[in-house]
């Protein structure tokens, strides 16, 4: 299926790519990660890369689905510039992900659900409207299968907040007198 005369992907292409992203997001949820998925594809719908959130698995705060999909696409294409490609994400990108999308020179972006806490395309702020950017998206569409993407997020957090889930965990035993507090990981290094 070819893109429309302006070179933008046809709605059916975007919807098919969103369904792949939704499957990636479900995989993230199954692994206990926030359900977000993304694919990088050409405008005809041929998938170059796909990814899901892996922040917890990789212990990497930058391991968002969009970032991982962009990294893999750049590796496969052999170039950090992804001209001619689009990214389809289940959620409105956060500022970090939108900056990566712009730096990668992706031609377009489609996303599903808005992200009121971190969305960088109008929900929290609109980074794409900043003057002076040296790259603009040629194609931008939000709300693609938004109901399905929103349901994934809602169901994931509803499950995590269930009282039965929280009540089933035994409380932490208090530390004996004089014992150090439980470690929450290594202390940060002092600034020089």
Encoded tokens for 109: 């972006």
Give the DSSP H/E element, type plus range, for residue 38.
strand 37-42
Residue 84 near residue 107 (C-beta atoms within 8 A):
yes
Q: What count of other Cβ atoms lies within 10 Å of the Cβ of residue 10?
A: 15
Q: Which of 15, 24, 33, 66 is catalytic?
A: 66
DSSP 40-109: EEETT--EEEEEE--HHHHT-TT--HHHHHHHHHHHHHTSS--TTEEEEEEEPPPHHHHHHHHHTT-SEE
C-alpha dihedral sign at 55, 98, 85, 113: positive
Determine whether 66 is an active site residue: yes
Active-site residues: which are they?
66
């Amino acid at each position: 299926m070819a893109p429309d005369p302006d070179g933008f992907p046809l709605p059916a292409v975007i919807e098919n790519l969103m369904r792949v992203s939704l499957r990636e997001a479900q995989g993230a949820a199954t692994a206990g990660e926030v359900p977000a998925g993304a694919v990088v594809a050409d405008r005809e719908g041929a998938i170059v890369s796909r990814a899901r959130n892996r922040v917890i698995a990789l212990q990497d705060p930058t391991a968002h689905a969009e970032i991982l999909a962009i990294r893999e696409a750049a590796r496969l294409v052999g170039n950090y510039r992804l001209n001619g490609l689009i990214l389809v994400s289940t959620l409105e990108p956060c500022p970090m992900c939108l900056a990566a999308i712009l730096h990668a020179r992706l031609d377009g972006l489609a996303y599903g659900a808005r992200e009121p806490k971190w969305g960088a395309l109008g929900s929290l702020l609109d980074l794409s409207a900043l003057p002076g950017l040296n790259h603009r998206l040629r194609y931008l569409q939000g709300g693609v299968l938004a109901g399905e993407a929103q349901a994934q997020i809602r169901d994931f957090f509803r499950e995590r907040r269930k009282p039965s889930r929280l009540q089933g965990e035994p409380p932490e035993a208090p530390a004996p007198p004089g014992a150090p507090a439980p470690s929450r990981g290594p202390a940060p290094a002092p600034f020089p």
